[in-house]
Structure 1
């Protein structure tokens, strides 16, 4: 895959209600979801599809067994690495943990890990399609609707987290905004592209976590759809540099998410 190592190449919604989540994100973002029902492995995994027909990510139905093991509704990002085994070894040596060991399937190998502050994410070494060895994941775009446009880490130790992600994924850090008592909102780069930011956890946040901001065509319309669909807006919509607006919310099943886009209504 031709994405730079360190790129976010996939996003996954873990949910207790795939049908409900499909309806909710369909109304809010404009996505469709295809597939469903138990796979041969017994896992219920579906694909999130944009209006252009390309994949935006995946949806995993949380079984009772998964929930009994501590899994809860959330969004998870997959970070592109050259080798899962060596990356996981380095993460563990650096204070991270393995939540799910390496798994290999037709599209590649991946493992679910945490950073030293306990924030979960996947690392993945993808296998491109045989007919397209230079395939590129476009689930992240800093400008387009129905893609994730921003990756935001809220952490209990911003300095340590920044060093961790730089060390293991080669991220850059240029530019910041002053957030007063919370310190700096520091911008992150991968392959020369600004992919998001990290900040110190606010006192109101129950735990450190990644928030993935999904692009929408109209933040006003999307905010109304959140409330109509049983979700909850936590912050926003607030204007951000450049004139667009962002908000953070929780979907009806309890997964935190963010939105970003113009305000047209």
Structure 2
């Protein structure tokens, strides 16, 4: 098992705190997810940065945000497909980057500050799966934190790993995640449910051959999966897997939005 020096960490270290869409058409993508998931899409301006859009749950002012959206910066335009990326809170971005590299990961973008928001970096695990890490600046007037099962929130995270056991050891060392339980999947191997602060928050497994590269995917909560499928199809998206019932009784689909970004939906009923 991978090891790092034992240290005291806060209860937020290793917590997923944000999900971000980078897309080729922010207007079209915003309209799609608003129609499919029900998010409010609100533009904000940050100093010296391109337009950024918040995905928020509910109505009115000070609604909880679960994620954001931006267009491709010039240096990445045409080099990456539209994609979703999760943000994980860490106590110290720079120290976590050092840990990533010491354990075989890579720094895709060096630590940088977003004024008034926090310090972040883009990192990849030893097999190439990418997340962002952030040490956020606490807001003065924070909105309520949405519950894990609230419609519109991120309900699950899933890693298709280069090697499931190695990936778990890596993330356990860096983020302090723990094993909740394993679910045998026959020839597909073992699906490991992992937890943060005692709460199961996602799963990981060695990627099947049809998944081209190790990657993270994100499941957004909806009320009912069949109605959501109808909204995906009606608004130009494509369902690529499902509907499928999963252990625990929920139903999922995997899909792409009209610009090609991969995303997933989860619901407690058909």
Aligned to 2:168: 162
Q: Shift in Å at residue 242 of structure 1? A: 2.7
Q: Shift in Å at residue 169 of structure 1? A: 0.3
Aligned pairs for 1:1-265 (under 5 A) are 4-35=12-43, 40-52=47-59, 53-68=63-78, 70-105=79-114, 106-130=116-140, 138=145, 141-264=147-270
- Extract unaligned runs of 5+ from structure 2: 1-9
Contact 1:100–1:113 under 8 Å retained in 2: yes
Q: Shift in Å at residue 3 of structure 1? A: 5.6
Specify whether residues 27 and 131 from structure 1 end up closer, same or farther in structure 2 by C-alpha distance, changes over 3 A only.
closer
Q: Shift in Å at residue 44 of structure 1? A: 2.4
Contact 1:112–1:123 under 8 Å retained in 2: yes
Q: Shift in Å at residue 142 of structure 1? A: 3.3
Structure 1 residues 215-224 or 235-244, which shifts more? 235-244
TM-score relative to the length of structure 1: 0.91
RMSD: 1.9
1:97-155: per-residue Cα shift (whole Å, max 9, x none)? 111111112111110110111011011111102456xx87x36x432210000000001
Q: Shift in Å at residue 243 of structure 1? A: 2.2
The total of aligned residue pairs comes to 257
- Extract unaligned runs of 5+ from structure 1: none
2: CA distance between counterparts of 1:48 and 1:144?
A: 14
1:50-81: per-residue Cα shift (whole Å, max 9, x none)? 1252212110111443224x332111111110
Specify whether residues 163 and 74 from structure 1 end up closer, same or farther in structure 2 by C-alpha distance, changes over 3 A only.
same
Aligned to 2:7: none
1:133-189: per-residue Cα shift (whole Å, max 9, x none)? xx87x36x4322100000000011111100000000000012121111221010000
Contact 1:16–1:63 under 8 Å retained in 2: no
